[in-house]
Amino acid sequence: MKKKPISKLFLYRYRFIIGYVILGLAFIVLLLTLPLFAQNGLSQAEMDSAASSYFLGKDGILNGDLVDLPYRVLQKFSIMIFGLSAYSVKLPSIIIGLLLGFLLILLLNRWFKSNVSLLSSCLIVLSTPFLFLAGSGTPLIMLVFWPTLLLWLGSKIQGEKRPKPLYSFMFAIALLLSIFTPYMVYFAVFCVVFVLIQPHLRFIVKDLPKLPLSIVILTIVAGFVVLGVSIIHHPDTIMALLFARNFEMQNFFNNISTGFSPLFSWHGTVESVLLSPLISLPNFALALIGLFSTTKGFFASRNSIASILIVFCVIITGFNPDAVVFFILPFSILIAHGVKYLLEKWYGLFPENPYARISALVPLTILFALIIVPGLLHYIYGYRYNPIIADLFNNNVRIIKDNLTDETLLVKDNYEFYKILETRSNIKVINELGGERVGRLAILGSGQEKPAGYTLERIVVSPKRDNSDIIYLYTVTQKEGE
């Protein structure tokens, strides 16, 4: 019986589809279960974000409170539906992280061959910086989401002789929504200028049907008008969108140093919510290979864009150290270039030998497993057990829910955040103790003074090494004769 050639085998013909399905399922399961076993609680930035989102009202929006508006609306609905918890605060980032992961896969598949895009996608969406973004309940993920979406939509427009008007309209809507995320105004202006000066793109825009083109232009203009009205009513909006609140120019280079230090601190841990090192040595080596491999055709759009995005990342990190997370986008492109270079060099050694191509699967599988698996373990155990990192997160919300039912909770810090607890429980939250005494009083925080007229009943502690006394529970002292 004659054997089938390899190209006719089912697994060979559908190898990339099977690979993407396995990657997609692993990615979805990992992100949905991420808050259960990784970052142990909420950071201060996540608590501030939850309070800002939950108390976002119609009046604030109409008066121009539009910074990070799409994310804050999604987070508000998440908390309203599921109540206040670490999972509900992080859920918007998980949802957007799923979309971002698939956008990165689509973008790389658009720019590179299937074998390169599949392997590089595994390295990127299962890496520590990506998992941190998807598991952090702050709008930081939008800083990567919007440019990735715009680049993918732009590739769908640029790569077609007759692009569909729908993609142009989607690009305009994405561009409109992105300008309410800090620093995306710069990116939006860059996109518009690039379209105007690039002959091929300019021809495509001119060749679009008049009605869709008019709608796109009106949408973009309307977005900037709304932004202008917001700035008039909230002058501090311009600082939040272009720089950072309380930004000072003399701190520019210090911010860059602070922002980039966790990325390459392989010798120790930096005190930051970003786990050090955020980028593993093998991934960094691949990105470095990718950077050098792009020097030959640097002025090709796909080659130069990673370098341009790195410069953009450095600039916005000078405004805000947390903006360094934008680095994941150019990092993803450089990783793909590095993988492409390695595969081309290997196949170049044996251009006519199919067995050499097949035998490459074994070392490649081992190589990528040694990069991905240690990276996942570094992320999971680092955020849970590294004392410097773990101390920046707390599980106070879960501890309060497990130990209090109808008590009055006195909080000194983050009052607006804990005030959200009143919507789904009988706990009353106050920020100062008035003259009237309550039956059962719980004070959140360590080292609190004992209030007059109350008796300490018990102390609720956490498993943390430092500041583990979370709640002091008091009852009213009974006077004689009562």
Q: Which residues of 266-289 are buried (b: 16+ CB within 10 A; e: fewer)?
A: eeeebebbbbbbbbbebbbebbeb
pLDDT at 74: 93
Residues 6+ apart with CB under 8 A from 131: 30, 31, 34, 38, 376, 379
CB distance 110 to 152 below 8 Å: yes
Residue 71: what pLDDT?
92
Instruction: State which amino acid sits at residue 52.
Output: S
Closest CA to 395 of 450, 460, 449: 460
Place of tokens 């990070």: 68
Note the pLDDT of residue 481: 43
What tens-digit pLDDT sequence spans the chain (482 residues)?
Answer: 455 555 565 555 666 677 777 777 878 888 888 776 677 788 899 999 999 999 887 766 666 677 888 899 999 999 999 989 888 999 999 999 989 988 988 888 888 888 888 888 888 888 888 888 888 889 999 999 999 998 888 888 766 666 677 777 788 888 888 888 888 888 877 777 767 776 666 776 676 667 666 777 787 777 777 777 777 777 777 778 887 777 778 888 888 888 888 887 776 666 777 888 888 888 888 888 888 877 765 555 566 778 788 888 888 888 888 888 899 998 888 898 888 888 888 777 776 666 666 677 777 778 888 888 888 888 888 888 888 888 888 888 888 888 888 888 888 888 899 999 988 888 888 888 776 777 788 888 876 777 888 888 888 888 777 778 888 888 887 654 44
Looking at this protein, which amino acid is placed at residue 228? G
pLDDT of 480: 44
CA atoms of 481 and 437, how far apart (whole Å): 18
Structure-token pair, residue 232: 């008039």
| CA dist., res. 58 & res. 297, Å (int) | 50
The tens digit of pLDDT for each residue in 196-219 reads 776 666 776 676 667 666 777 787
Burial status of residue 171 (CB atoms within 10 A of its CB: 0-12, 13-18, 19 or more): buried
CA angle 254, 256, 259 (to 5 degrees): 105
Q: Which two tokens mark 218?
A: 């009106």
Degrees (nearest 5) of the Cα angle 255, 257, 262?
110
- List, as one string, the DSSP characters of 263-307: TS-TTS--SSSSPSSSS-HHHHHHHHHHHHHTSTTTTSHHHHHHH
Give alpha helix (H) positions in 83-233.
Answer: 86-111, 114-125, 128-134, 142-158, 165-178, 184-197, 199-207, 210-233
Give the length of the chain. Answer: 482
What pLDDT does 220 receive?
74
